[in-house]
Structure 1
């Protein structure tokens, strides 16, 4: 598999915040603990060692054994679960929504990044074991974000009503989705494997959490991935002191708002805003915010309410009914896991940057933050076409209009670039500005207007000539456009749009092993792979 890479900044698809983070900009350092370099994990291990207790390990392992008892589990995963009882074992974690059939392709990239980082850390720190964790976002409630995936430009969608946490949703209606997807797959061994993946996950499991766990385990179990379903009574019991602090003191809102002000002062945007209370109340069919009004705690859109003492008593009786929102979910994760590093996409890291001061207020170690691997995968046929059309890896990341204009200029037998003429024209007008100032300063405006008129004229002429040349080279333009659209569907990164099934249909069982082989989570580059 020939491979190449490009900087995240040069792709044009990543925010200034993320690019500055990767460049270790000084102004961002107060927002995170340690930058994810191999040597920095030594101090992270030491810090987490002093704060994570054996009781939490025992509860975690007992819960995982219970959650895996009906799952066909690899020896590597079972060994990793058992290893978590040892004080020298730590985790690296990624999280993802319960998207139908994994959703966007980067689901694979997140988990591969996590598996490979765990392997790399075990080599660097042989006295410690490191376990890769996939945290299922089973308590989310936004069904519209997860009820579909894209396959070859078509939207495969699960239509139904939903309420409560998505992990508890039954799989009713997915037989029809399976039939639609099955027809789109066509024939062949890889198509049959994908059918079996979907059928076994969604038609043979009762709820979305179990279905997603089955599929993730099927794809990555051989690599020792441990999947955590955190919507669990015993795990939440470990988090009760922090829930109680949130209910009584509402400290998260204060701390996150303080950090948000600092981020905005740096001219970066805010990903999430805190609530006064950052908790939901959940039952089988309910997930609504807990609010405090006139010293009474209420569940929005219901008649449920408590006094403070009643609510705290209720918390200790049924902790499983208290669900952290986006502000507290990361804290919950770090309380129940001996975690060193969270691996996520640019948007995820952006909101983690808002949370460090809240972790400090709760006396919980803030994890290292690693941008997941991003990958563009091309077939040998696509790679050959790119080479034939003289399209570089950097070229293909250009936005569509810039890409076409650049390539048309390159293949044209005439020079359609008036930048030198415009530069010369500006120099001529400098002399006119000098003359106007020496004679009558009121003419400076007239000179400026004439300059703008003539520059606009040249720019419009350049555009017209370029359009004419595009028509002349329309066959080449069509081939280049088609090829770029294959690699960047809907003018978006492949990994954000396509589903893994498109590539599995092409590459089969080689897809994941090749990603495992070539993706390097600590390199900080956007990978380009040819399969």
Structure 2
């Protein structure tokens, strides 16, 4: 099982903000609490332990999880983890993910394995504490078009529904038709049968998308002790009421995040999310709309619902479950109801977390450590042998298609297509002409410059024509090279952002997750290339 690591920066698939964060650039230090090294967890544990709300939150968390797991076959390790949450010695490591159909892209696995493996590392380093891996289901999201499909061998398998509101509430009508497509696509075989059982049991035997997703994640990772939480629950929202009130009355998060956004932009970084004046949605019976404050009245956008300040606060106390945090407030909600130390997410997630530290400070809540999830490229032995035979390196695979082809054509061509030497020789010749012009008539300098530019462009044109001719001549070999890149980078994107786990599970079965559990190292900070 050969492995090779490539730095995230070298892949060219991750933003400057994330690469600079991984490099711990000093100018970013103000935007996070502690960098996630093994030794830094000691101070994070100490700080989180001082959170005054934790004792009550732990009790509520335990009761809610027991309720959510009452109809699920729970592993002994997961049960132990849930029971341990009332202990002041227990802390969580959390990742979150949307309720994508059949888990969606492959990185769903990497997120959860990163969380599980980090808890193991922490237990070895701090044996006096307990560390629980948590998957936070994004059940209150509303963007159905982002989650209603998965890709399988180049085919988009999609569930269509006209339902609206929070996706976790969606009933599963129409997924019986999707199952027929899935069953045919997976075909025969032991691994295919297991995939069909998981899909059928999840989506044809549960009442809503949240329950289906919980079942599937538990089937895949329950034996590793994963705890799955649906925070769309009245009792959990009850614990968050003081922070919801602060948002409704003070709207401080808008000012806090806007200020941080300005600071990040001044450093040359892009902004992932922009805050609203009020960063909560109202969810109820198919509605998920923004709460706005206009003319001294609280309203639910695109509805007739409205309240005075007094009425709104009373309504919040009565039905807190209808108040749903958006992307700005969700991380705060997570850190209030969980004894959490570290959030593990993708590049986009960490980018918006880096906008939130000041808002956490305003709410007097400990800011979580932030860890980039593991990333991996998985190859079969057959693909690896073909790649080696073609002389394609792992670094080559990460090149954009045109750069990949140009580089490989230059390498395999029996003639030299690189005119760099000729260009340098030409430039040295023109240096002598510049000196001559300056000694005779400086008005000729411009003419010399124009001639130099013309001749350099001429060389570049010849180089491009020669490269194009060689591409035609070597078309068969180029096609074989681009074919292996397309297999591993479908649609010219990272495999993990496109391919569903089912495609690999068909080939490797349970060995897929076990191999990933063995090789993914969350604190290592590199992109893994893995041959199975």
Q: Which range, TM-score by smaller chain?
A: over 0.9
State the match for 2:30 in structure 1: 30
Deviations 1:1-27 (A, max 9, x none): 211110001111111111100000000
State the match for 2:82 in structure 1: 81
Distance 1:400 1:178 in 2: 35
Q: What's the Cα RMSD here?
A: 0.9
Distance 2:261 2:459 in 1: 46
Distance 1:284 1:74 in 2: 34
CA shift for structure 1 position 195:
0.9
Runs of 4+ in 1 over 3 A off after TM superposition: none
Distance 1:359 1:440 in 2: 68
Whether 1:97 aligns to 2:71 is: no
Q: TM-score, normalised by structure 2?
A: 0.99
CA shift for structure 1 position 444:
2.3
Distance 2:407 2:202 in 1: 46
State the match for 1:235 in structure 2: 236
CA shift for structure 1 position 273:
0.4
Deviations 1:144-169 (A, max 9, x none): 11111111111111112121100000
State the match for 2:487 in structure 1: 486
Distance 1:528 1:491 in 2: 17
Deviations 1:395-434 (A, max 9, x none): 1111111111111111122111111111111122222222
State the match for 2:502 in structure 1: 501
With 435-444 and 423-432 compared, the bigger mean Cα shift is at 435-444
Provide the aligned length of Structure 1 versus Structure 2.
531
State the match for 1:45 in structure 2: 45
State the match for 1:312 in structure 2: 313
Partner secondary structure for residue 441 of structure 1: coil
Distance 1:105 1:38 in 2: 27
Whether 1:351 aligns to 2:361 is: no
Distance 1:420 1:218 in 2: 60
CA shift for structure 1 position 182:
1.6
Partner secondary structure for residue 523 of structure 1: coil
CA shift for structure 1 position 437:
2.7
Q: After TM superposition, list the pairs within 5 Å mapping 1:235-314 onto structure 2.
A: 235-314=236-315
Distance 2:34 2:359 in 1: 16
State the match for 2:140 in structure 1: 139
Whether 1:457 aligns to 2:458 is: yes
State the match for 2:3 in structure 1: 3
| Consecutive unaligned residues in structure 1, runs of 5 or more | none
CA shift for structure 1 position 438:
2.9
Distance 2:167 2:435 in 1: 70
With 155-164 and 439-448 compared, the bigger mean Cα shift is at 439-448
Distance 2:123 2:165 in 1: 39
Distance 1:187 1:155 in 2: 20
Partner secondary structure for residue 430 of structure 1: helix
Distance 2:122 2:523 in 1: 11
CA shift for structure 1 position 348:
0.4
Q: After TM superposition, list the pairs within 5 Å mapping 1:432-447 onto structure 2.
A: 432-447=433-448
Deviations 1:22-69 (A, max 9, x none): 000000000000001000000000000010521110000010001000
Deviations 1:433-459 (A, max 9, x none): 222233333322222221111111111
CA shift for structure 1 position 252:
0.4
Distance 2:134 2:142 in 1: 22
State the match for 1:205 in structure 2: 206
Partner secondary structure for residue 231 of structure 1: coil
Whether 1:151 aligns to 2:169 is: no
Whether 1:12 aligns to 2:12 is: yes
Distance 2:450 2:177 in 1: 65
Distance 1:437 1:71 in 2: 86
Partner secondary structure for residue 292 of structure 1: strand
With 174-183 and 228-237 compared, the bigger mean Cα shift is at 174-183
With 445-454 and 276-285 compared, the bigger mean Cα shift is at 445-454
Distance 2:83 2:285 in 1: 31
Partner secondary structure for residue 282 of structure 1: strand
Distance 2:438 2:13 in 1: 46
